[in-house]
Amino acid sequence: QSVLTQPPSASGTPGQRVTISCSGSSSNIGSNTVNWYQQLPGTAPKLLIYSNNQRPSGVPDRFSGSKSGTSASLAISGLQSEDEVDYYCATWDDSLNGVVFGGGTKLTVL
């Protein structure tokens, strides 16, 4: 059971906008910023969003992040077939003294 809660799956059609939620608590999301990662099959996770809503260089602006209270969200607009991979949220937990991850969301492009 992951400390951060993500829906195990999400879906959308090409061109559509989808959002993936990440729910935590006051000791993690409530007091620290959130990162989002994209993981293609058989490869290492890649940083997609950092500090709640910042995109690293090279990440398309179709990807955006937000945070409110103890929850965060990843939004993907203009959905493309190549977006059909796994997404994870993560933050630091002040009570556990460690990084906590969501369980991951598998995105399906219908």
Q: How far is the CB of 76 from another protein (least distance, A)?
A: 19
109 touches another protein by CB under 8 A? no
Q: For the window 3-42, what string marks contact with another protein as x by the rule CB under 8 A?
A: -----------------------------xx-x-x-x---
* Candidate list 11, 69, 98, 110; residue touching another protein; CB under 8 A: 98
Considering only CA atoms, give the Rg of the chain.
13
Q: Identify whether the C-beta of residue 43 lies closer than 8 Å to the C-beta of residue 100.
A: no
2 touches another protein by CB under 8 A? yes
Closest residue by Cα to residue 49 from 13, 74, 15, 23: 74
* Candidate list 51, 80, 95, 108; residue touching another protein; CB under 8 A: 51
> Can you tell me the distance from the alpha carbon of 58 to that of 68, in angstroms, rounded to the nearest whole number?
26
> Can you tell me the distance from the alpha carbon of 73 to that of 12, in angstroms, rounded to the nearest whole number?
16
> Can you tell me the distance from the alpha carbon of 63 to that of 81, in angstroms, rounded to the nearest whole number?
14
- The contact set with another protein (CB under 8 A) reads 2, 32-33, 35, 37, 39, 43-47, 50-51, 56, 88, 90-92, 97-104
